[in-house]
Amino acid sequence: FFFFLAGFLCFLKKEKYFLASVFAFFASLTRLIGLFLIIFFIFKFFEKKIKKINLFFVFSPIFGFLAYCFYLWKTTGDPLMFFHSQPAFGANRSTSLIFLPQVAWRYLKIFFTADFNFQYFIAIFEFFVFFLVLSVLLLDLKNLVSIKNLKLKIKNYDYLALNIFSFANLILPSLTGTFSSIPRYSLFSLSFFIYLRKIKNKFLKFLILLFFLIFHTILLVFFSQGYFVS
Protein backbone atom coordinates (compact mmCIF):
# COMPACT_ATOMS: atom_id res chain seq x y z
CA PHE A 1 0.00 0.00 0.00
CA PHE A 2 2.83 2.37 0.86
CA PHE A 3 4.36 1.73 -2.57
CA PHE A 4 1.09 2.59 -4.32
CA LEU A 5 0.53 5.65 -2.11
CA ALA A 6 4.05 6.97 -2.74
CA GLY A 7 3.73 6.34 -6.48
CA PHE A 8 0.36 8.07 -6.57
CA LEU A 9 1.67 11.19 -4.79
CA CYS A 10 4.77 11.26 -6.99
CA PHE A 11 2.87 11.12 -10.30
CA LEU A 12 0.20 13.50 -9.02
CA LYS A 13 2.90 16.04 -8.19
CA LYS A 14 4.32 15.65 -11.71
CA GLU A 15 0.77 16.07 -13.12
CA LYS A 16 0.93 12.65 -14.78
CA TYR A 17 -2.68 11.94 -13.97
CA PHE A 18 -3.07 8.69 -15.88
CA LEU A 19 -0.23 7.03 -13.96
CA ALA A 20 -1.50 8.60 -10.73
CA SER A 21 -4.93 7.08 -11.37
CA VAL A 22 -3.37 3.65 -11.97
CA PHE A 23 -1.59 3.81 -8.62
CA ALA A 24 -4.77 5.12 -6.95
CA PHE A 25 -6.71 2.16 -8.38
CA PHE A 26 -4.30 -0.37 -6.90
CA ALA A 27 -4.00 1.55 -3.61
CA SER A 28 -7.76 1.29 -3.02
CA LEU A 29 -7.62 -2.32 -4.17
CA THR A 30 -5.05 -2.96 -1.44
CA ARG A 31 -6.48 -1.05 1.52
CA LEU A 32 -9.78 0.67 2.21
CA ILE A 33 -8.09 3.99 3.00
CA GLY A 34 -6.93 4.08 -0.62
CA LEU A 35 -10.51 4.98 -1.48
CA PHE A 36 -9.90 8.42 0.02
CA LEU A 37 -7.25 9.26 -2.56
CA ILE A 38 -10.20 10.60 -4.50
CA ILE A 39 -9.79 13.71 -2.30
CA PHE A 40 -6.63 14.67 -4.20
CA PHE A 41 -8.31 14.28 -7.58
CA ILE A 42 -11.33 16.31 -6.47
CA PHE A 43 -9.07 19.17 -5.41
CA LYS A 44 -7.22 19.01 -8.73
CA PHE A 45 -10.55 18.97 -10.54
CA PHE A 46 -11.76 22.11 -8.75
CA GLU A 47 -8.42 23.76 -9.50
CA LYS A 48 -9.27 22.96 -13.13
CA LYS A 49 -6.06 21.01 -13.55
CA ILE A 50 -8.09 17.99 -14.63
CA LYS A 51 -10.51 18.40 -17.53
CA LYS A 52 -14.06 17.05 -17.46
CA ILE A 53 -13.22 14.41 -20.09
CA ASN A 54 -10.79 12.89 -17.61
CA LEU A 55 -13.32 12.24 -14.86
CA PHE A 56 -12.26 8.60 -15.13
CA PHE A 57 -9.05 9.60 -13.36
CA VAL A 58 -11.02 11.23 -10.55
CA PHE A 59 -13.03 8.07 -9.85
CA SER A 60 -10.15 5.58 -10.22
CA PRO A 61 -9.92 5.00 -6.42
CA ILE A 62 -13.61 4.09 -6.38
CA PHE A 63 -13.10 1.65 -9.25
CA GLY A 64 -10.30 -0.07 -7.32
CA PHE A 65 -12.52 -0.42 -4.25
CA LEU A 66 -15.42 -1.75 -6.33
CA ALA A 67 -13.09 -4.26 -8.00
CA TYR A 68 -12.16 -5.65 -4.58
CA CYS A 69 -15.81 -5.76 -3.52
CA PHE A 70 -16.60 -7.68 -6.72
CA TYR A 71 -13.81 -10.14 -5.93
CA LEU A 72 -15.18 -10.68 -2.42
CA TRP A 73 -18.70 -11.13 -3.76
CA LYS A 74 -17.55 -13.78 -6.22
CA THR A 75 -15.41 -15.66 -3.67
CA THR A 76 -17.41 -15.28 -0.43
CA GLY A 77 -20.86 -14.03 -1.47
CA ASP A 78 -20.38 -10.89 0.65
CA PRO A 79 -18.93 -7.80 -1.08
CA LEU A 80 -18.25 -6.24 2.37
CA MET A 81 -16.55 -9.27 3.88
CA PHE A 82 -13.50 -7.12 4.73
CA PHE A 83 -15.73 -5.27 7.20
CA HIS A 84 -18.00 -8.05 8.42
CA SER A 85 -15.02 -10.31 9.20
CA GLN A 86 -13.42 -7.86 11.66
CA PRO A 87 -14.57 -9.62 14.87
CA ALA A 88 -12.83 -12.82 13.70
CA PHE A 89 -9.41 -11.20 14.20
CA GLY A 90 -9.95 -10.96 17.96
CA ALA A 91 -9.10 -7.26 18.22
CA ASN A 92 -12.48 -6.33 19.76
CA ARG A 93 -13.56 -4.53 16.60
CA SER A 94 -17.25 -3.90 15.96
CA THR A 95 -19.14 -4.34 12.69
CA SER A 96 -21.41 -1.43 13.58
CA LEU A 97 -20.04 2.10 13.35
CA ILE A 98 -18.78 3.51 16.66
CA PHE A 99 -18.02 7.23 16.65
CA LEU A 100 -15.00 8.91 18.21
CA PRO A 101 -16.58 10.27 21.46
CA GLN A 102 -17.83 6.80 22.35
CA VAL A 103 -14.44 5.21 21.58
CA ALA A 104 -12.68 7.81 23.73
CA TRP A 105 -15.15 7.14 26.56
CA ARG A 106 -14.42 3.40 26.33
CA TYR A 107 -10.72 4.08 26.80
CA LEU A 108 -11.31 6.42 29.73
CA LYS A 109 -13.28 3.63 31.40
CA ILE A 110 -10.31 1.31 30.83
CA PHE A 111 -7.97 3.79 32.52
CA PHE A 112 -10.16 3.97 35.65
CA THR A 113 -11.33 0.36 35.94
CA ALA A 114 -8.81 -2.03 34.33
CA ASP A 115 -5.88 -3.72 36.03
CA PHE A 116 -2.46 -2.16 35.54
CA ASN A 117 -0.70 -4.60 33.19
CA PHE A 118 0.77 -4.78 29.69
CA GLN A 119 -2.65 -4.35 28.05
CA TYR A 120 -3.24 -1.29 30.21
CA PHE A 121 0.04 0.22 28.95
CA ILE A 122 -0.89 -0.51 25.33
CA ALA A 123 -4.32 1.12 25.81
CA ILE A 124 -2.62 4.28 27.14
CA PHE A 125 -0.18 4.26 24.24
CA GLU A 126 -2.94 3.82 21.62
CA PHE A 127 -5.00 6.60 23.19
CA PHE A 128 -2.02 8.96 23.44
CA VAL A 129 -0.82 8.36 19.87
CA PHE A 130 -4.30 8.88 18.44
CA PHE A 131 -4.84 12.25 20.11
CA LEU A 132 -1.25 13.33 19.52
CA VAL A 133 -1.61 12.79 15.76
CA LEU A 134 -5.13 14.29 15.80
CA SER A 135 -3.88 17.44 17.58
CA VAL A 136 -1.00 17.92 15.14
CA LEU A 137 -3.34 17.44 12.16
CA LEU A 138 -5.66 20.10 13.60
CA LEU A 139 -2.73 22.50 13.98
CA ASP A 140 -1.70 21.75 10.42
CA LEU A 141 -5.25 22.40 9.19
CA LYS A 142 -5.29 25.72 11.03
CA ASN A 143 -2.17 26.78 9.13
CA LEU A 144 -3.61 25.73 5.78
CA VAL A 145 -7.06 27.29 6.04
CA SER A 146 -8.12 30.71 7.25
CA ILE A 147 -11.31 32.76 7.14
CA LYS A 148 -11.08 36.47 6.41
CA ASN A 149 -14.10 38.69 5.79
CA LEU A 150 -16.30 35.59 5.72
CA LYS A 151 -14.21 34.18 2.86
CA LEU A 152 -12.38 30.88 3.03
CA LYS A 153 -8.71 31.19 2.11
CA ILE A 154 -6.69 28.08 1.30
CA LYS A 155 -2.91 28.47 1.29
CA ASN A 156 -2.03 25.22 -0.49
CA TYR A 157 -4.55 22.86 -2.09
CA ASP A 158 -2.13 19.93 -2.32
CA TYR A 159 -1.23 20.09 1.37
CA LEU A 160 -4.88 20.54 2.32
CA ALA A 161 -5.81 17.41 0.36
CA LEU A 162 -3.04 15.51 2.16
CA ASN A 163 -4.27 16.86 5.49
CA ILE A 164 -7.85 15.70 4.87
CA PHE A 165 -6.56 12.31 3.71
CA SER A 166 -4.48 12.10 6.90
CA PHE A 167 -7.59 12.80 8.98
CA ALA A 168 -9.52 10.09 7.13
CA ASN A 169 -6.64 7.65 7.61
CA LEU A 170 -6.63 8.31 11.36
CA ILE A 171 -10.39 8.37 11.98
CA LEU A 172 -11.42 5.43 9.77
CA PRO A 173 -9.97 2.61 11.96
CA SER A 174 -11.54 4.12 15.09
CA LEU A 175 -15.02 3.64 13.62
CA THR A 176 -14.74 -0.04 14.55
CA GLY A 177 -14.84 0.99 18.22
CA THR A 178 -11.17 0.79 19.18
CA PHE A 179 -7.81 2.54 18.81
CA SER A 180 -6.13 -0.82 18.37
CA SER A 181 -3.28 -0.64 15.82
CA ILE A 182 -3.62 3.16 15.56
CA PRO A 183 0.14 3.63 16.11
CA ARG A 184 0.88 1.81 12.84
CA TYR A 185 -2.20 3.02 10.96
CA SER A 186 -1.27 6.62 11.76
CA LEU A 187 2.03 6.21 9.87
CA PHE A 188 0.10 7.00 6.67
CA SER A 189 -1.17 10.30 8.10
CA LEU A 190 1.69 12.01 6.30
CA SER A 191 0.66 15.55 7.25
CA PHE A 192 1.67 14.71 10.82
CA PHE A 193 5.31 14.22 9.79
CA ILE A 194 5.33 17.18 7.41
CA TYR A 195 4.13 19.44 10.22
CA LEU A 196 6.85 18.16 12.55
CA ARG A 197 9.43 18.80 9.83
CA LYS A 198 8.41 22.47 9.75
CA ILE A 199 9.15 23.01 13.46
CA LYS A 200 12.05 25.45 13.73
CA ASN A 201 12.72 25.25 17.46
CA LYS A 202 15.75 22.93 17.79
CA PHE A 203 15.08 22.13 21.45
CA LEU A 204 11.52 21.08 20.67
CA LYS A 205 12.79 18.96 17.79
CA PHE A 206 15.24 17.28 20.15
CA LEU A 207 12.45 16.51 22.65
CA ILE A 208 10.32 14.98 19.88
CA LEU A 209 13.26 12.88 18.70
CA LEU A 210 13.96 11.76 22.27
CA PHE A 211 10.29 10.87 22.79
CA PHE A 212 10.20 8.69 19.67
CA LEU A 213 13.51 7.01 20.50
CA ILE A 214 12.36 6.10 24.02
CA PHE A 215 9.04 4.65 22.90
CA HIS A 216 10.62 2.92 19.92
CA THR A 217 13.07 1.19 22.27
CA ILE A 218 10.37 0.17 24.75
CA LEU A 219 8.05 -1.19 22.07
CA LEU A 220 10.89 -2.97 20.27
CA VAL A 221 11.79 -4.75 23.51
CA PHE A 222 8.18 -5.88 23.98
CA PHE A 223 7.84 -6.93 20.36
CA SER A 224 11.11 -8.92 20.40
CA GLN A 225 9.69 -10.89 23.37
CA GLY A 226 6.55 -11.83 21.44
CA TYR A 227 4.14 -9.17 22.66
CA PHE A 228 1.62 -7.58 20.32
CA VAL A 229 2.27 -3.83 20.51
CA SER A 230 -0.36 -2.43 18.13
pLDDT tens for residues 80-114?
Answer: 999 888 877 766 778 788 999 999 999 999 999 99
| Residue 63 pLDDT > 80 | yes
Over range 40-46, report the average pLDDT.
85
For residue 52, pLDDT over 70 is answered with no
pTM given for the model: 0.92
Average pLDDT over the chain, rounded to whole?
91
Q: How confident is the model at residue 67 (pLDDT cuts 50, 70, 90)?
A: very high
pLDDT at 221 over 60: yes
Does 53 have pLDDT greater than 60?
A: no
Note the pLDDT of residue 37. 97
Higher pLDDT, 52 or 211: 211
Please compute the mean of the pLDDT values over residues 174-181 and round it to a whole number.
Answer: 92
Burial grade of 106 (CB within 10 A; 0-12, 13-18, 19 or more): middle
Quick one: average pLDDT of 205-230? 91
pLDDT of residue 51: 64
What pLDDT, on the 0 to 100 scale, is given for residue 164?
A: 97
Residue 154 pLDDT:
87
Specify the pLDDT at position 49: 66
Looking at residue 47, its pLDDT comes to: 74
